[in-house]
Chains A and B, each alone.
Chain A
Amino acid sequence: AQSVTQLGSHVSVSEGALVLLRCNYSSSVPPYLFWYVQYPNQGLQLLLKYTSAATLVKGINGFEAEFKKSETSFHLTKPSAHMSDAAEYFCAVSDGTGRRALTFGSGTRLQVQP
């Protein structure tokens, strides 16, 4: 069984500040991990993915995430927030078998203050 926990349902940062969105996972097998972003009234867009290659993964829009097996974490970061980053962010885990859908976290809403 897999699960994902996103700490903090709401995160607020100032424009230009560091963005840190937390994700911890539980998986009985080596996981594949994803971060998705959802803008209002839209579907989910893939930001980045970890598929057991490099532990530091770079994604679109300047985001990156680091896979830390010892901490079972896959936190999302961006050095400098932009107003356009305001959205809902979802962490998700796959068990790698390809049989089932992803397991999603409950999401973190990012607000960027001017």
Chain B
Amino acid sequence: QVELQESGPGLVKPSETLSLTCTVSGGSINDYYWNWIRQTPGKGLEWIGYIYYSGSFRYNPSLKSRVTMSVDTSKNQFSLRLDSVSAADTALYYCARGFDGSGNYARLTFDYWGQGTLVTVSS
């Protein structure tokens, strides 16, 4: 059974960098797309982006200038870095596995999710 677990600080100061790691267990990180998704009461579920096991990536244009994702296949982990955070980035952050039902177009369905980690941006 594949399991994902987010880890990282729950409190980040405004203008600083949010850093989260997702550890994948029970399955290989290879051959899937690894995603970050966040949820707020106001904006609902927002896809942040993915990193493929090979290192290729795609980010949501709304966050693209501030997002960096990375993957460490040797540790079965992938990470999110979000720069210059503000209160608007306060959210429940999920990592999720994505599979591509279309073959090669990164048309992703999210079949396994972490439990989520709440990140609050506040001084």
Q: Do A and B bind each other?
A: no
Q: Chain A interface (Cβ within 8 Å of chain B)?
A: none
Q: Chain B interface (Cβ within 8 Å of chain A)?
A: none
